Amino acid sequence: MPFVFAQGETEAWSAGAVEVVYSFLQSHRLWYSWFVSWPTVIFISVLAMVSSGVLWLLPESPASLRLMVLAWLSTLVALLGLNLAKAILLPSSVLRITNEEGFVRRHVGELGLALALLTAALTVVGWFFGR
């Protein structure tokens, strides 16, 4: 479930905003959202059981057995780390809304005036030096 925080003048507006965000996030998930929502603990448990079964059935060969155990353990540790930090490392969707405006949007009036004055000055200079 996504975490949504809304603060407004009325409780009804906040509840409506939260519902809009929930419905938007449900339809705009990231490609790996199935991994975050799928019970990875079950997958890790099955992987551990299969690995122990495979290691029990294989003939004992010290070099290949050590390499295989190292590969299985590294896979299990990686999956366990992803499972423990999946909310931080793999967010199922991201939505950021800010009221911050960029430099151009904040100063559009001043920039327009400066551009108009520069154009007028260049036109006057062009009249005198153009001939």
- ∠ CA 24-6-92, nearest 5°, is 40
Q: Note whether 88 and 114 are same-domain residues.
A: no
Domain count along the chain: 2
pLDDT value at position 116? 92
Q: Note whether 67 and 123 are same-domain residues.
A: no
Q: Note whether 75 and 129 are same-domain residues.
A: no
Question: How large is the average pLDDT for residues 60-85?
Answer: 75
Q: Note whether 19 and 65 are same-domain residues.
A: yes
* Residue 111 domain boundaries: 101-131
Q: Note whether 115 and 63 are same-domain residues.
A: no
Output the DSSP codes for 57-98: HSPP-HHHHHHHHHHHHHHHHHHHHHHHTHHHHS-S------
Say yes or no to pLDDT of 75 above 70: yes
Q: Note whether 106 and 86 are same-domain residues.
A: no
Q: Note whether 121 and 91 are same-domain residues.
A: no
Say yes or no to pLDDT of 115 above 90: yes
- pLDDT single digits (tens) 21-70: 888 877 777 777 666 666 767 777 777 777 767 667 766 666 767 777 77
Scored b (16 or more CB within 10 A) or e, 68-104 reads eeeebeeeeeebeeebeebeeeebbeeeeeeeeeeee
pLDDT value at position 118? 94
What angle separates helix 40-57 from helix 62-84, to the nearest 10 degrees? 170
Q: Note whether 57 and 107 are same-domain residues.
A: no
Say yes or no to pLDDT of 9 above 70: yes
